[in-house]
Amino acid sequence: MASRQEHIEDDVMATKHTPGPWLIDPSWDILGNTKDGNGMVCQITVDAVPRDEAAANAHLIAAAPDMYEALRTTSANIRSLGSAGALDELSKAEGKYDLIPRD
């Protein structure tokens, strides 16, 4: 079985998202090692929702690369057992389904 580091290296090669870790800075920016070097993955707008909800959203977003890796590893383990069930969520994360509402 591949090590966590091997999975991370494969993930960077196979995905288009900014690799983790992602961090939350004091101005509510979610920062990572972006290709353009500016470091901003996204910014949380704290005026749109209560502050505790904004904090929870920021933590969830910042955890996304680690959660993706955990799901990817789990999916590989499921596949190795011969079961393809419960893998739709990984396909969603990889952009294989269009989840953006269209008018």
3-state secondary structure the chain: CCCHHHHHHHHHHHCCCCCCCCEECCCCEEECCCCCCCCEEEECCCCCCCHHHHHHHHHHHHCHHHHHHHHHHHHHHHHHCCCCCCCHHHHHHCCCCCCCCCC
Q: pLDDT band at 64, cuts 50/70/90?
A: very high
Question: What pLDDT is attached to residue 82?
Answer: 57
Question: What pLDDT is attached to residue 27?
Answer: 86
Share of the chain above pLDDT 70, in %: 70
